[in-house]
């Protein structure tokens, strides 16, 4: 099992592919597989042109390799020695919720203490958007937890 492949599979499964910009459940303009900004830092706008599947794949790969995997390594450096499933779960979580949330979370503290028995419960806490529990986020957190 390869952590990158597992991460991409999770993101594709839970984000879905949207060629045209849309508002995510948290009200943020999004495109492709959950991208809220492009490689140059420009935020997605609802007036942006649609993208192709190939462009969405390239944007997803860029985000994972250039932003979210490095963020996981920065805030949870020992994770590099963990299983591909654990790494993938943390990258997916960070892709969905942002590196700032990882940095400030109890999840990070548990990972850095190698308290893997507590990590699934920490993942499962993050299933809300706009103050509401979302079934899709609950399913996503459960999928991540199953990899721990």
pLDDT tens for each residue of 28-67: 999 999 999 999 999 999 999 999 999 999 999 999 999 9
Predicted pLDDT of residue 129: 84
19 by DSSP, 3-state: which?
strand
Give domain 3-146's CATH architecture.
Answer: Orthogonal Bundle (1.10)
Tens digit of pLDDT for each residue in 105-135? 999 999 999 999 999 999 999 999 888 899 9
Whether the pLDDT of residue 1 is over 70: the answer is: no
Q: Which two tokens stand for residue 134?
A: 């979302």
How far is Cα of residue 122 from the mean position of the Cα atoms in its chain? 15
Predicted pLDDT of residue 26: 81
Q: State how far the Cα of 3 lies from the Cα of 138, in Å rounded to an integer.
A: 21
% of the chain surpassing 90 pLDDT: 94
Q: State how far the Cα of 83 lies from the Cα of 23, in Å rounded to an integer.
A: 34
Q: Which two tokens stand for residue 76?
A: 């949870």
In the set 9, 24, 54, 122, the catalytic residue is 24
Return the number of other C-beta atoms located less than 10 Å from residue 63's C-beta: 22
Predicted pLDDT of residue 130: 81
**Any catalytic annotation for residue 24?**
yes
In the set 9, 15, 57, 76, the catalytic residue is 15
**Any catalytic annotation for residue 9?**
no
Number of helices (H), then strands (E), belonging to the chain: the values are 8, 4
Dihedral sign for Cα atoms in the order 4, 19, 94, 118:
negative
For 94-112, what is the mean pLDDT? 97
Predicted pLDDT of residue 25: 82
């Amino acid at each position: 099992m390869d952590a990158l492949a597992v991460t991409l599979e999770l993101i594709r499964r839970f984000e879905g592919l949207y060629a045209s910009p849309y508002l995510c459940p948290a009200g943020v303009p999004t495109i492709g597989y959950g991208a809220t900004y492009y490689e140059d830092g420009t935020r997605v706008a609802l007036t942006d042109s649609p993208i192709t599947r190939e462009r969405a794949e390239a944007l997803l790969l860029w985000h994972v390799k250039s932003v979210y995997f490095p963020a996981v390594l920065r805030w949870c450096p020992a994770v590099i020695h963990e299983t591909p499933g654990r790494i993938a779960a943390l990258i997916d979580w960070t892709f969905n919720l942002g590196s700032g949330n990882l940095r400030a979370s109890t999840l990070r503290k548990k990972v850095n203490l190698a308290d893997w028995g507590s990590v699934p419960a920490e993942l499962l806490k993050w299933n809300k958007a706009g103050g509401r529990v979302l079934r899709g986020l609950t399913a996503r957190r459960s999928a991540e937890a199953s990899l721990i």
